[in-house]
Structure 1
Amino acid sequence: MERFIILALVGLAAQLVDGALGMGYGLTSTTLLLTAGIAPAVASASVHMAEVVTTAASGASHIRFGNVDKTMVKKLIIPGSIGAFSGATFLSHLTGNYVRLYVSIFLILLGIYILARFLWLRDAQKQEHKALTNKFYVPLGFVAGFFDASGGGGWGPIATPALLSQKGMIPRKVIGTVNTSEFAIALSATAGFMLSLGPSKINWLWAGAIMLGGIIAAPIAAWIVKSLPTKILAVIVSGMLIFTNVRTVFSYSDISMDIILPVYAFLIAAWLYIVYYVAQREKNSSMAVSEPKRKTS
């Protein structure tokens, strides 16, 4: 019972992160199961089984708060579902652990790009948004879905920053859209694991625990996305992306902890400062807009 409660709390925290930032549920939950000694394929299968329910709850919450671009969802789910099914089948036979190293390096660079766009290019969202075609959505959906199933998480970390990097994208719309479309990806990945591993390989108790925590957190996370300013959301997403993937890269190296710990401390301090800086700038901007209204009243 104690383990069930702990896993439910982990599922709650993971869904708060995922629902608010568009990434993190699968990676957080899978990491915990791997730490407990669960095989990668079984861990990913259990998490995706839980995600079928949590992503449905998260998607419904985001739709309610107006955070979803339904056209974008339709274009993502088909290639994403195919990729997720393929990734689940792949992971059932291979671990694919070193693939994440190369993906992490790519995501670090993408996180830096997003941070620069929303931090220094003040009118990035006002630039004319060109309609994205299937040449963009199909490879993005397939790759993100494949790595999500084969790596225990990756739909959000790949799809969210890739969409945010496009001109004119609104962070809360991207996050809500990615979370909503993840239901189809989780369903397809679970189907792949079921066919490859069989239902007996899924840890139903653990999946139920993290599922329960995720359901509770889903509407809270959607409200957070609706309430926070878009630039603050973008900075939080990029910071989490950079820090998480730097840790992954270090895990493949023999660098001493005497060097790694100061790097972590610097990244966290810089991240917190940038969040504070952007929050203050947004506050001053909103005050400047409201000031003329008070004078004319």
Structure 2
Amino acid sequence: MRKLLLLALVGLGAQLVDGSLGMAYGVTSTTLLLALNTSAASASATVHLAEIGTTLASGAAHWRFGNVDWRVVRRVGVPGAVGAFAGATFLASLSTEFAAPVMSLILLTLGLYVLLRFTVAGLPRDRVGLPLRKRFLGPLGLVAGFVDATGGGGWGPIGTPAILASGRLEPRRVIGSIDTSEFLVAVAASVGFLVGLGAENIDFGWVAALLIGGLIAAPIAAWLVRIVPPRVLGSAVGGVIILTNTRTLLLSDWVEAGPGLRYSLYLLIVVTWVAAIGWSVRQHRAEQAADPAPADDDTPTTERATTSR
């Protein structure tokens, strides 16, 4: 019962992150499951089965508020499902000793990306242009889906910034479309894990606990995003992912680092992490001073400038 409560809190925390950033539910929850000594394949399978419910609820909410571009959902979601099924069957075929450090390495890379993306650049919010093309969305979905299944997360961290950086879709529609299309990815990955692992190797009590925590957090995340700036939250979450997966790698058979090296690296990561959060706070305040528009206003800057208040 104690572990189920902890898993529910993991699901709640991961959904708070995902609902605020449009990414990182899988990365956050898989990282925490690995910290509980769950096998790599079982952790990813548990997260993706829970995501079937959380992404369905999230997609429905985004659709209700008009945040979904169904062409983007179709063009990125279908290839993403193919990539996710392939990634799930691949991960299920790896030995436990090999899979855990491989997943931690992928998660560490994604954590570095999230930390740098939000700390250094934030998310672009002022470039809306031409429609997105199939030749861009198809390969993006395929790669993001494969990484999402093998790494236990990655759909949002890869898909959301890539589409935002293209400047062809307003931010709220990017997040809504990526969250909605993730339902297809979660279903395909779950089927792949059920085929590769078998249902007997998946604890559905854990799945239910993660799902309940995520469903409770969904409305809270909508409120939290108005309180905590996404840039600051992204830096904070990136640091958690980096620290946790660095620890897993340093304790693995791949590295077997001594206590002195481990604690020195932990200290370096924490110092860098705190500095990154401080920088993000200062940058957010500077952006607020330069642009007095409300933080939750998704209207492009150029459009706001031409609209009388």
Q: TM-score, normalised by structure 2?
A: 0.77
CA root-mean-square deviation: 3.2
Q: Aligned pair 1:198/2:191, yes or no?
A: no
Q: 1:109 to 1:207 in 2, by over 3 A?
A: closer
The one-character-per-residue Cα deviations of 1:35-82 (angstroms, maximum 9, x if unpaired) are 333221122112211111111112122223333333221211101000
- Which aligned pairs between 1:203-242 and structure 2 lie closer than 5 A? 203-224=203-224, 227=226, 232-233=229-230, 236-237=233-234, 240-241=237-238
Where does residue 172 of structure 2 map in the other structure?
172
Number of positions where the alignment pairs a residue of Structure 1 with one of Structure 2:
282
Q: 1:272 to 1:198 in 2, by over 3 A?
A: same
The one-character-per-residue Cα deviations of 1:73-101 (angstroms, maximum 9, x if unpaired) are 12111010000000110011012743763
Asked if 1 retains the 8 angstrom alpha-carbon contact of 2:128 and 2:169, the reply is no
Q: 1:237 to 1:165 in 2, by over 3 A?
A: farther
Where does residue 265 of structure 1 map in the other structure?
271
How far 1:111 moved relative to its partner?
5.8
Q: Identify unmatched segments of 5+ residues in structure 1.
A: 289-296
Q: 1:101 to 1:276 in 2, by over 3 A?
A: same
Amino acid at match of 2:74: K
Where does residue 20 of structure 1 map in the other structure?
20
Q: Aligned pair 1:275/2:281, yes or no?
A: yes
Asked if 2 retains the 8 angstrom alpha-carbon contact of 1:140 and 1:159, the reply is yes
How far 1:236 moved relative to its partner?
4.1
Distance 2:139 2:173 in 1: 20
Where does residue 74 of structure 2 map in the other structure?
74
Q: 1:114 to 1:134 in 2, by over 3 A?
A: farther
Asked if 2 retains the 8 angstrom alpha-carbon contact of 1:58 and 1:219, the reply is no
Where does residue 301 of structure 2 map in the other structure?
none
Q: 1:5 to 1:267 in 2, by over 3 A?
A: closer
How far 1:175 moved relative to its partner?
2.2
Q: Identify unmatched segments of 5+ residues in structure 2.
A: 251-256, 295-308
Q: Aligned pair 1:65/2:50, yes or no?
A: no
Q: Aligned pair 1:98/2:102, yes or no?
A: yes
Where does residue 303 of structure 2 map in the other structure?
none
Asked if 2 retains the 8 angstrom alpha-carbon contact of 1:73 and 1:178, the reply is yes
- Aligned residues with identical type, % of pairs: 42
Where does residue 189 of structure 1 map in the other structure?
189
Distance 2:35 2:159 in 1: 26
- Which aligned pairs between 1:60-139 and structure 2 lie closer than 5 A? 60-94=60-94, 95=99, 97-98=101-102, 101=105, 104-105=108-109, 108=112, 112=116, 116-118=120-122, 125-127=125-127, 129-139=129-139
How far 1:134 moved relative to its partner?
1.7
Q: Which moved more, 1:234-243 or 1:194-203?
A: 234-243
SS in 1 for 2:52: helix
Where does residue 241 of structure 2 map in the other structure?
244
Asked if 2 retains the 8 angstrom alpha-carbon contact of 1:128 and 1:167, the reply is yes
- Which aligned pairs between 1:140-179 and structure 2 lie closer than 5 A? 140-167=140-167, 169-179=169-179
SS in 2 for 1:92: helix
Distance 1:250 1:5 in 2: 24
Amino acid at match of 1:281: E
Distance 2:293 2:43 in 1: 48
Distance 2:145 2:181 in 1: 11
How far 1:209 moved relative to its partner?
0.5
Amino acid at match of 1:129: G
Asked if 2 retains the 8 angstrom alpha-carbon contact of 1:69 and 1:173, the reply is yes
Distance 2:196 2:40 in 1: 14
Distance 2:70 2:196 in 1: 32
Asked if 1 retains the 8 angstrom alpha-carbon contact of 2:235 and 2:277, the reply is no
The one-character-per-residue Cα deviations of 1:227-262 (angstroms, maximum 9, x if unpaired) are 479xx4356446644773476467546544235414
Asked if 1 retains the 8 angstrom alpha-carbon contact of 2:67 and 2:173, the reply is yes
Distance 2:122 2:232 in 1: 7
Distance 2:232 2:263 in 1: 27
Asked if 1 retains the 8 angstrom alpha-carbon contact of 2:40 and 2:100, the reply is no
Asked if 1 retains the 8 angstrom alpha-carbon contact of 2:85 and 2:192, the reply is yes
Q: Which runs of 4+ in 1 moved over 6 A?
A: none
- Which aligned pairs between 1:8-47 and structure 2 lie closer than 5 A? 8-47=8-47
Q: TM-score, normalised by structure 1?
A: 0.80
